[in-house]
A and B are shown apart, each in its own frame.
Chain A
C-alpha cells in the first residue's frame, strides 16, 4: 500500500532521485571523513571536544536487544535469523492516515541525514555513534496525527521463530517490546528514526530496518525493529516501566542526579574502555543535550518523572 505524500511538503524539500540513489556513497564518504579522531566542532553540534566516535565493531557487537538474548554478544550472533525484507508497519490510532504500510514506502523520498550522537545506556556505559536516519517528525507528519494524538507508541517485531529471546522460558518481558514518546518529544528535531550507521544499512542487531534514536534519553527508549506506530491520547506503558516501575520510568531522560538502584548514573564508562582505563566521565544532564531539550520539561519534577 502506498501512502500519498502530503501536499505540505514542498517539492523543493524532496531529495532528487539522483542524490537519493547515490546516498550510500554520499554517506560512506561522510563516514570516512568522520572516522578521523578529531571532529570539527562546527560539523558536530552537541558533541564535546573529547567525544570520539566509537569503533564500528563495538557498536555492532555490543548490544542490548533482548529479543535475541540477554548477553551483549547475543544480538550480533543471532540477529541474522530475523527477516527484515519485506517489512510492513501498522500505523493506527489518532491519525488521519492509518493502515499497513511497506517500510520502503514510508521512507521513500525522505532525506537520510547523518547525525553523530552520544548514546547513553541506563547501565552506565556510553558510545558515540554516527547514525543515519530521518527526523521522526518528518515520518510521523505523513500520517497526519490528529489533535487527540498526545503520545506515540512503538512496538518491536514479535516473531519468536526468528527471535530466540522471545522463546526464552525464563524471561519476564511481556513481548512485544513497547516504547513511546510524548508528541513534542517525537517532533523534536533531534529525534531520529535511524536506518543506518557508519554509512551502511542498519545491521539487524542494531534494530534493522529502522529504530528510534532519542539522544537525551537512556538507550532503552530507542526501540528497535519497529513494526507498529500508534498515536494515542494516553501515556503508553513502556516495557521496562511495566517490568519494574520503581527503576525505569516513561521519560527516562539521562539524569546524573537520579540514581538507579543498580547503577550510579553520576558517571559513565565510554566504550571502548580498557582494563587500565575505565574511560569514566561524568554524565551530563539530558546526555549533554540540555540546551536543546530541557525546555520540553520546564516545570516538571524530573526526580518524580524519571
Chain B
C-alpha cells in the first residue's frame, strides 16, 4: 500500500497538467475552443486555482499524517510543496509573459496598483524562498532556522486566499471552501501545539512534584 502512495500522488499532481495540455491543444485547433474567448485570462485563472489547491494540499500533509497516524505521507510533503510552487511560478510567468506581454512597466504597475496582485506576489516570493530552501542541503545548512523559515507558509496561505477573495467581484463559494479547508488544517495545528504545550507543562509539573 505505502509503496503506491508516492506514485499515486505524482499521478494526481500530473492530472491538471494533462488536462491543461489537452485544452491548449484544443485551443490551437480553434481559437476559443480550449481556453475560452479570453485564453490568457482562462489560463491564468486555471493555473491560479490549481496553485491554491496544491498549496492547500501541501499545507494539509502534516495534520493529515498526524490525525490518521500515517507518517508515510510526510515523505511526500516536499514533493507536493514543490509542485505547488511550480503551479504558482507558471501562473506568475503566464501573467508576466502573456498578460503584461513581458513589459516590465506593465508588470510592475499591476503589482503596485492592484492590491490583490500585490498580495499574490508577496505569497509568490515567500513560496519561492521555501522552494529554494527545500533541499536537504539547505535543511542542514539552516539547522533550526529552517523550521522557522518554513513557518512562513502560515502567511503564504492566507495571502493566497486574500488574493483570490480580492480579485472576486462577487460569488464567494470557492473562496469559502478553500478558506474552510485552510482553517481546518490550521485548527489541527493549533490543537496539536496546545496539546504539546500542555503535555510539556504537566511533565514539568510532575517533575517539580517529584523534587
Contact = CB atoms under 8 A, between A and B. Distances in A.
Contacts of A61: 37
Interface stretch (B57-65, B169-177, B196-204): B169-177
Contact of B38 (A57, A171, A259, A273): A273
Interface stretch (B27-35, B78-86, B185-193): B27-35
Contacts of B31: 272, 274
A220 B165 CA distance: 20
Interface in A154-200: 165, 168-173
A168 B113 contact: no
Interface in A264-293: 264, 269, 271-276, 278, 280
Given A259-B113, A262-B114, A275-B43, A57 B32 contact: yes
A58 interface: yes
A17 to B, nearest CB: 39
Interface in A44-82: 55, 57-58, 61-62, 66, 69-70, 72-73
B40 A262 contact: no
A261 interface: yes
A170 B116 contact: no
Contacts of B99: 278
Contacts of B184: none
Contact of A66 (B115, B171, B173, B175): B171
A1 to B, nearest CB: 36
B98 A275 contact: yes
Given A264-B109, A275-B98, A172 B27 contact: no
B16 interface: no
The secondary structure that dominates the B interface is: helix
B27 to A, nearest CB: 7
Contact of B170 (A70, A72, A273, A275): A70
A243 interface: yes
A75 B24 CA distance: 23
Chain B's interface size range is 20 to 34
Nearest to A72: B36
B173 A58 contact: no
A66 B110 CA distance: 26
Contact of A275 (B27, B115, B173): B27
Contacts of A272: 31-32, 37-39
A84 to B, nearest CB: 24
Nearest to A54: B37
A70 B171 contact: yes
Contacts of A55: 32
A210 interface: no
Interface string A27-59: 000000000000000000000000000010110
B34 to A, nearest CB: 10
Contacts of A269: 38, 40
A272 B26 CA distance: 15
Interface in B1-42: 24, 27, 31-32, 35-41
B165 to A, nearest CB: 11
Contacts of B32: 55, 57-58, 272
Contacts of B115: 261
B125 interface: no
Interface in A224-280: 243, 259, 261-264, 269, 271-276, 278, 280
A57 B33 CA distance: 10
Given A275-B27, A278-B99, A58 B37 contact: yes
Contacts of A263: 114
Question: Which interface residue of A69, A125, A274 has the most chain B CB atoms within 10 A?
Answer: A274
A269 B43 CA distance: 15
Contacts of B39: 272-275
Given A271-B38, A273-B39, A275-B40, A280 B170 contact: no
8 contacts: A55-B32, A66-B170, A72-B38, A73-B36, A169-B173, A170-B175, A173-B170, A243-B170
Given A66-B170, A262-B169, 14 more contacts: A57-B32, A62-B37, A62-B38, A69-B171, A72-B36, A73-B36, A170-B176, A172-B172, A173-B170, A271-B38, A272-B32, A272-B39, A275-B27, A278-B99
